[in-house]
Amino acid sequence: MKRSFNLSAYETFSHKTDFAMSKHSTVGCGGNARTVFYPQSVAEAKALLSKLEGDKIPYYVIGNMSNVLPPDEGTETPLVCTANLNGVTVGEGAFVYAGVKSGALLSICKRNQKSGAEFLYGIPCTLGGALFMNAGAGGTYIDEIVESVLVYHKGETKLVSRKDCGYSYKHSVFMKNGAVILGAALKLTDATDEEIEKKESFFKARRAHLPKGKSMGCVFKNPDGFSAGDLIERSGLKGLRMGGAYVSNEHANFIINDKNATEKDIKTLIMLIKNAVLAQYAIWLEEEIRYIPL
Ligand SMILES: Cc1cc2nc3c(=O)[nH]c(=O)nc-3n(C[C@H](O)[C@H](O)[C@H](O)COP(=O)(O)OP(=O)(O)OC[C@H]3O[C@@H](n4cnc5c(N)ncnc54)[C@H](O)[C@@H]3O)c2cc1C
């Protein structure tokens, strides 16, 4: 059953209607979202989120939609996109708003000779999505450079110090408490152009083997002591196809949409993988990706 949401009470907030999630998500599937809000400032975000909560309207926050699976039916749940919360202020470290994309952040770091975020190279994320997911690469995760996170939570905006962010492998407290990330103070160090180039090249080289095509990146978290991709590969599932999607032959933790896959194709593959790995290794894989609600 779809929830009803009356847009007329929200006309003053920046928004778009009939947003094609298949065009905006990196996996390239899903129907339309009826409404997407684009707060232009922290103040607008706070006013919007307080009103939605006051009206008891559930909402869903999106960054660059690189780790989400949108539903085929589309969604009536209003989406709140951070794309326009996009400034960066560089000082000792940097204050970065949630909608800043990894590429933009790295360019700004380079221009200001600041190092520490190079591991984000090639991760198609916004800062907010990375902070929520505790994104990382090559053994470095974003929590390592977080000083504090600015959030909207229960009607207030507040700074959460790193120790209260509940960070662990692919986990943050924000997954539990529903806080919306608005920005963060990052710890960065001074570095020369050469030092920054060297670090970037290291992370760039590590990504060269990643599968091309539409995907959500890694679908499953690595269970303790195992690689999810390895378990899937050893279960003989590389190349397994369902409709328009298949398990990548290069990296078994990636599902690629190469032929107009539906959400259902991908969900079916996910269940097949979970059951096969369970049967073979008695391990129940847990998704890293997140599902956009109806
Ligand atoms: C080709 C490819 C390669 C990838 N490589 C990597 C990799 O190397 N390492 C890695 O860690 N990940 C990787 N990913 C996964 C993905 O890029 C990361 O998880 C990223 O952090 C998601 O950021 P996003 O802005 O796209 O978030 P979205 O996909 O839009 O959202 C992801 C989740 O975060 C929540 N969220 C987003 N913004 C906010 C906010 N401001 N406040 C509260 N919640 C929010 C959403 O509600 C959702 O639950 C890859 C993905 C692809 C497609």
Which regions of the chain carry the CATH code 3.90.78.10? 228-291
Q: Indicate whether residue 65 lines ligand 1 (CB < 6 A).
A: yes
Is residue 133 within 8 A of residue 141, CB to CB? The reply is: no
281 DSSP assignment: H
Q: Which CATH number fits domain 88-207: 3.40.50.620, 1.10.8.50, 3.30.465.10, 3.30.70.120?
A: 3.30.465.10
75 DSSP assignment: B
Q: Which CATH number fits domain 7-81: 1.10.10.10, 3.30.465.10, 3.30.43.10, 3.20.20.70?
A: 3.30.43.10
Q: Residue 125 and residue 8: Cα distance in Å, rounded? A: 32
Q: Indicate whether residue 183 lines ligand 1 (CB < 6 A).
A: no
Q: Indicate whether residue 21 lines ligand 1 (CB < 6 A).
A: no
Q: Which helix (H) or strand (E) holds 160?
A: strand 156-161
C-alpha 157: how far from chain center: 21
Tens of each residue's pLDDT in the chain, 294 residues: 445 789 999 999 999 999 999 999 999 999 999 999 999 999 999 999 999 999 999 999 999 999 999 999 999 999 999 999 999 999 999 999 999 999 999 999 999 999 999 999 999 999 999 999 999 999 999 999 999 999 999 999 999 999 999 999 999 999 999 999 999 999 999 999 999 999 999 999 999 999 999 999 999 999 999 999 999 999 999 999 999 999 999 999 999 999 999 999 999 999 999 999 999 999 999 999 999 999
Q: Residue 136 and residue 141: Cα distance in Å, rounded? A: 4
Three-state SS at 174: helix
Which residue type does 230 have?
D
- How many CB atoms are located within 10 Å of the residue 192 CB? 10
Q: Indicate whether residue 135 lines ligand 1 (CB < 6 A).
A: yes
Q: Residue 57 and residue 79: Cα distance in Å, rounded? A: 11
According to DSSP, the residues that pair with 95 across neighbouring strands are 89, 185
Q: Which of 77, 127, 132, 152 to mutate to test the pocket of ligand 1 (most atoms within 8 A of CB)?
A: 132
pLDDT attached to residue 44: 98
Distance 66 CA to ligand 1 centre (A): 5
Which regions of the chain carry the CATH code 3.30.465.10? 88-207
Q: Say which CATH topology domain 228-291 has.
A: 3.90.78
Would you state the structure tokens that stand for residue 90, as one six-digit string? 């560089």
pLDDT attached to residue 3: 54
Q: Indicate whether residue 26 lines ligand 1 (CB < 6 A).
A: yes
Q: Which helix (H) or strand (E) holds 290?
A: strand 290-291
pLDDT attached to residue 176: 98
Distance 129 CA to ligand 1 centre (A): 4
Which regions of the chain carry the CATH code 3.30.43.10? 7-81
